[in-house]
Amino acid sequence: MSFGPHLLLAILEGTVAAAVLALTALGLSLVFGVMRVVNVAHGEFYMLGAMVAWWLSRLVPAHPAAGFALALVGAPIAVGAVALATERLVLRRLNYEPEATIVATIGLLFVIQQLALTVFGADAKPVSAPFNFRIVFPWFGYSGYKLFVVAASAVVLLAAWWVLARTRFGLIMRATQYDSETAAAFGIPVDKVYAAVFVTGAALAALAAVLLVPIQQAHYLMGLDPLLMSFIVVIIGGLGSIKGSVIAAIVIGMSDGIISVFFSPTLASILGTLLVALVLVVRPQGLFGVPVR
């Protein structure tokens, strides 16, 4: 393949990787930003979303799009419910203490993973894309659905930004993030805000999974990889900064796509990890993060 088409493929792959990363990192960033809880089980909420999507899509065998639409609504609700239970039964009882919640969510990671193995089994589960459209370039073809994922991801990110910046709920969330004690003094029900944020974070992970599962299949170990990449993105972008996460996702995604097409995927991972180390040394709060007061 000559250089031009090769570069085009690399950019397409990079764009898809960036969109996927931004989407999976969004929930993690939100939860850390507002609650200061590092949710190690975030990837498992993502996996659970994919599993539920698979299960729901099998209920509607008529047309893949019907199953997909059902999953788009059902999976975030189901995973949100699990997250709500987690928040009430575990995080709240630990007083949202950072160290304790890290250990608790590590435990949760294993519990959810093994439950998924027990309930759904170990096979990779294919889910049909809502439509099959192959974009034909003169040199190669590309999945139309992958480009749909990019568009959908942009819509979700814009919606998240709008909610945070332009709505009353967003204002309350930002107030809680800025200073939860003062927010409580002003009558903001901080514990309800925490519950809402944690559920939203999990639902966003599930939504990302529903969009991605037609590309990747549901599998009980699928949560580990996005977890790692999301952490990289969130750390580089600045914990709690959604703008930072999106920009970091684009940088990491594009460089990952381009480097792995032209050189090797291993080199892309090495560079990504190096970048994290560098950011942690030079600017520990991340590119767009605000130092903890």
Partner 1 sequence: MSSKKGLIVPPASVTRRKALKVLGASAAAAGGFAAGPGFIRYVQAATSEPIRIGFQVHRTGIGASYGRWYERTTTAAIKLINEQGGIGGRPVEIVAEDDGTDPGRGAEVVEKFATQHKVDVAYGTLFSHVVMGSSPRAGELKLPYFVVSEGHHVASGKLNRYTFQPGITDVKSQVKSMAPWIAGNLGKKVTMIFPDFAFGHDHRDYFSAAIKEQGGEVVQLIPIPPTESSFTRYFPDIPANTDVLYHVMVGPAVLTFVKELGEHFGSQHPALFGFIDSLEAVDLASPGLEFLDGSYLWEAYPRYAGPKPTAFDTFYRDKVGVDAMGASVSDPADISTFSHMFGCWETLFVIKKAMEAAGYQGPADRSKLIEATEAMTAFEEGNEHPQGDKTFNGKIHQCFGHQNITKVAGGKAEAVHRTSIEDGLYEPEADYTTQSL
Site of interaction with partner 1 (CB under 8 A): 1, 5-6, 9-10, 13, 17, 64, 114, 117, 121-124, 126, 128, 134, 136, 140-143, 215-217, 219, 221-222, 225, 257, 260-261, 265-266
Could you tell me the smallest distance in angstroms from the CB atom of residue 1 to partner 1?
5
Nearer to partner 1, 186 or 262 (CB): 262
Could you tell me the smallest distance in angstroms from the CB atom of residue 25 to partner 1?
17
Nearer to partner 1, 107 or 121 (CB): 121
Could you tell me the smallest distance in angstroms from the CB atom of residue 15 to partner 1?
12
Could you tell me the smallest distance in angstroms from the CB atom of residue 138 to partner 1?
11
Nearer to partner 1, 50 or 239 (CB): 50
Could you tell me the smallest distance in angstroms from the CB atom of residue 225 to partner 1?
7
Nearer to partner 1, 22 or 242 (CB): 22
Helix 168-178 and helix 190-216, axial crossing angle in degrees, nearest 10: 110
Nearer to partner 1, 55 or 96 (CB): 55
Could you tell me the smallest distance in angstroms from the CB atom of residue 226 to partner 1?
9
Nearer to partner 1, 217 or 285 (CB): 217
